[in-house]
Amino acid sequence: MQLFIDSANVDEIREIAAWGVLAGVTTNPSLAAKEGRDFTVMLAEICDLVAGDVSAEVVATDTAGMLAEAEPLLAVSDKVTIKLPLTPDGLAACRTLSDRGVRTNVTLCFSATQAILAAAAGATYVSPFVGRVDDTANDGIALLEEICAIYATRGYGTKVLAASLRHPQHVAQAALAGADVATLPAKVFHQMVRHPLTDRGLEQFLADWAGYRGGA
């Protein structure tokens, strides 16, 4: 399972990219707005930090507007993947872009039937929102498992990108469910890497080594 970071903060992305674990980046209008910077400039900086796909989302709600917004985003880098909402207009835009060979990420997926539509429209990625499903007292991981099972059974080429992952357990569960990609905030990357036994073990190794060298 590939790991993407869900962020528009260049410093966060640079830090996690330095770990050597990042395969790509997802952004959204809320994350971009929080940064308060020109989006195309920020997008270019992000694309320079990673080798893989960088999702950039349109904000138009009609097909023509989405396609128009996609053009300047695609001009930024060949790493840009156009992120589209899972609406009738978003699906139509997805089909048009996919037929041109443009990579797409159909987002805000909350049901297996929506995921089937995204695959039918030729999406490169579909993004089920695990945490937001949990927020409605439903099971986001169960939804992810259902989508992965359908895609595997039908042989769809669309990749399942598990989104709205709130904690490390979500990441492990997404991997077990069969997600192709998990996108997570920097905070969850930090939670994943830390473990008290790792910290204590490293402290002990260093203390033992210092004693050994001192004795020599």
What one-character-per-residue DSSP string does the chain give? Answer: -EEEEE---HHHHHHHHTTT---EEE--HHHHHHHTS-HHHHHHHHHHH-SS-EEEE---SSHHHHHHHHHHHHHH-TTEEEEEESSHHHHHHHHHHHHTT--EEEEEE-SHHHHHHHHHTT-SEEEEBHHHHHHTTS-HHHHHHHHHHHHHHHT--PEEEEB---SHHHHHHHHHHT-SEEEE-HHHHHHHH--HHHHHHHHHHHHHHHHHHHH-
- Residues annotated as catalytic are 83
